[in-house]
Amino acid sequence: MSENSQIRALQPSALWNHFTDLNAVPRPSKKEERVIAFIKDFGERLGLSTATDSAGNVIIKKPASPGMENRKTVVLQSHLDMVHQKNSDTNFDFDTQGIEMYVDGDWVRAKGTTLGADNGIGVAAIMSLLSSTDIPHPPIEALFTIDEETGMTGAFALKGGFLAGDILLNLDTEADNELTIGCAGGLDITATGTYAQRSPNGSAGLQISVKGLTGGHSGGDIHLGRGNANKIMNRLLTVLDRELVVEIASVTGGSLRNAIPRESVANIAVKDAAKVTKRVSELAADIMDEYAITDPQLSITCTTIDVPSAVASHEFQEKMLRALYACPNGIYRMSPSIGGLVQSSNNLAKVSIQNGSFNFQCLTRSSVDSEKYDVANAISSSFELMNADVTQGNAYPGWQPQPDSAIVRLMSSLYKEMFNEDAHVNAVHAGLECGILGTNYPGMQMISFGPNITGAHSPDERVQISSVQKFWKYLLETLNRIPTRA
């Protein structure tokens, strides 16, 4: 049996078949044209009312099952785009290839790339409901948003009046015992500029590589203390510069704002390659010991390369290293009111220094809007001190919890009834579209839930098969219990 056939044979079969079909369509953020056409064609082939707004969001409406016409209308919402990340040694073209999946025990994984379970499982579940002929359900509005992973621009662009639903079920949570009723807002910070270059004084070239970090979601995994490749690389370069003097030609690390950077590479010129290599090895031993639990595959290496033709000026190098060292990364503050919840954080997501230009990117998150901007201003200040051009943009609001809403009470009670335990009703530090959608639909009750997904935004992403079955059963019974209109 082929690997795709193995996936299609899983239960519930409709969901896994739709997920397999979806994963054959390249769907990176900002390039969703193909998946928009795929979903639009899907709705039209079913003969359902299908529309696309000016941003590319797709809405498909399905009338209620016979006898359920008087139930409240439910909006089922998931995002179409996925994070495209792969291991450095994986040969894969996201623009042309479908995700290559396989079954690993009770899990489905991808071969060296992100899986797209975030949020493809949610999309596939909605597709399964739309295509079903025997599942009881209230009136459904299926909302497929675009560009959730790099700015939530689809949710921002959705206008009021496009939806008529009373309740929104967001299928984008990654733990099957959680009911999410609130989330953090976010803000992008970008620092750019140019710098003077000069000929190196060093007679040898070295390349330092930081690889094998666990990475993960910069919101949902930020509390786990995992290493950030950009911060580790800057730590190495700072110590080397102070002790042995190195000349930096280039540094490239990280790629996506919402992914904890897993790799960074620096090319440098040095006078004594043996001394620098030895010191890197010593520093690497300490750092790898520090991260032995969270990042057991961390690798820090130093190899010989040709002497770089140009390196950064002394002045820029000193200011740059200090600015990146000063940039906060990880947890900034825990919530004083909700136990265990990260209130504010920052991810130093991307560092690019090469050919006389630099670009640093951060994603700052907080469930408190004023604190989000306070953290962002502190980060901006560190980069402004090196005369960078700093911009703050793509801000999105958090989602304020409403623990006493009717849908939260219903789904909490139903979870206890079905699984004989209490659901974990919580807020998360990751960004969800509910906060944005709520600005144009303030009266709509919202809740987010989903199956167990680990390693989102990294090539370690996987989704649990048995948990998908649990999630599907819970979703169907939730729809069956939706109350009638007043």
Kindly tell me if the per-residue pLDDT of 311 is higher than 60.
yes
Residue 300: count of CB within 10 angstroms of its CB: 21
List the CATH code of the domain at 3-184+398-481.
3.40.630.10
Mean local confidence (pLDDT), 91-116: 96
Q: What is the mean pLDDT of residues 427-432?
A: 86
Percentage of the chain lying above the pLDDT 90 cut: 87
361-390 core/surface letters (b: 16 or more CB in 10 A; e: else): bbbbbbbbeeebbebbeebbebbeebebeb
Distances (CA, A) of 97 to 38, 91, 94, 329: 15, 11, 5, 34
Fold: same for 3-184+398-481 and 187-393: no
Task: Report, at the CATH architecture level, how domain 187-393 is classified.
Answer: 2-Layer Sandwich (3.30)
Q: Which amino acid is at 448?
A: S
pTM for this predicted structure: 0.73
Q: pLDDT at residue 328 above 60?
A: yes
Please tell me the distance from the alpha carbon of residue 20 to that of residue 8, in angstroms, as a whole number. 7
Task: Tell me the average pLDDT of the chain.
Answer: 95
What is the band of 401 on the pLDDT scale with cuts at 50, 70, 90? Answer: confident
Phi, psi of 114 (to 5 degrees): -60, 150
Encoded tokens for 323: 């600015």
DSSP state of 63: P
pLDDT at 69 over 60: yes
Which residues belong to the active site? 81, 148
Spatial distance between the Cα atoms of 386 and 199, rounded to a whole number of angstroms: 22
Using left for φ > 0, alpha for ψ between -120 and 50, and beta otherwise, residue 112 falls in left
Average pLDDT on 291-314 reads: 98
Report CA-CA distances (Å) from 274 to 104, 208, 244.
Answer: 44, 13, 11
Q: 58: which 2 tokens?
A: 């797709």
SS3 412: helix
For the record, the structure tokens of 315 come out as 């002045």
The answer to whether 26 and 96 have CB atoms below 8 angstroms apart is yes
> Would you say the C-alpha torsion 283, 348, 338, 120 has a positive or negative sign?
negative
- Average pLDDT rounded to a whole number, residues 21-45: 97
- Section 344-348 average pLDDT: 97
Percent of the chain with pLDDT over 70: 100
| DSSP 8-state secondary structure symbol assigned to residue 86 | B
| pLDDT per residue as tens digits for the range 226-281 | 999 999 999 999 999 999 989 999 999 998 888 999 999 999 999 999 999 999 99
Peptide bond into 355 cis (omega under 30): no
3-state secondary structure of 423: coil
User: Given this model, what pLDDT does residue 195 score?
Assistant: 98
Please give the pLDDT value at position 397.
Answer: 86
Over residues 434-474, the pLDDT tens digits come to: 989 988 898 899 999 999 999 998 899 999 999 999 999 99
Q: Is the pLDDT of residue 1 over 80?
A: no
First to last CA, the chain: 52
Indicate the pLDDT class of residue 55, thresholds 50, 70 and 90. Answer: very high
Give the pLDDT confidence score for residue 339 in this predicted structure: 82
Burial class, 221, CB count within 10 angstroms (exposed 0-12 / middle 13-18 / buried 19+): buried
- Looking at residue 255, its pLDDT comes to 86
For residue range 266-276, list pLDDT tens digits in order: 999 999 999 99
SS3 486: coil
Name the phi and psi angles at 330, rounded to 5: 95, -155
The secondary structure of 283-332 as a DSSP string is HHHHHHHHTTTT-TT-EEEEEEEPPPS-EE-HHHHHHHHHHHHHS--EEE
The domain limits of the chain are: 3-184+398-481, 187-393
**What pLDDT does 403 receive?**
87
What's the CA gap between 291 and 347, in Å, rounded?
17
pLDDT in tens, 80-100: 999 998 988 899 999 999 999
**Contact in structure between 173 and 107 (CB atoms under 8 Å):** no
Confidence of residue 178 (pLDDT cuts 50, 70, 90): very high
* Strand bridging mode 389-396 / 445-448: unpaired
The residue-averaged pLDDT of 106-127 equals 97
- Check residue 158 and report its DSSP letter: P
For position 256, what pLDDT does the model report?
Answer: 86
Residue 163's pLDDT is 95
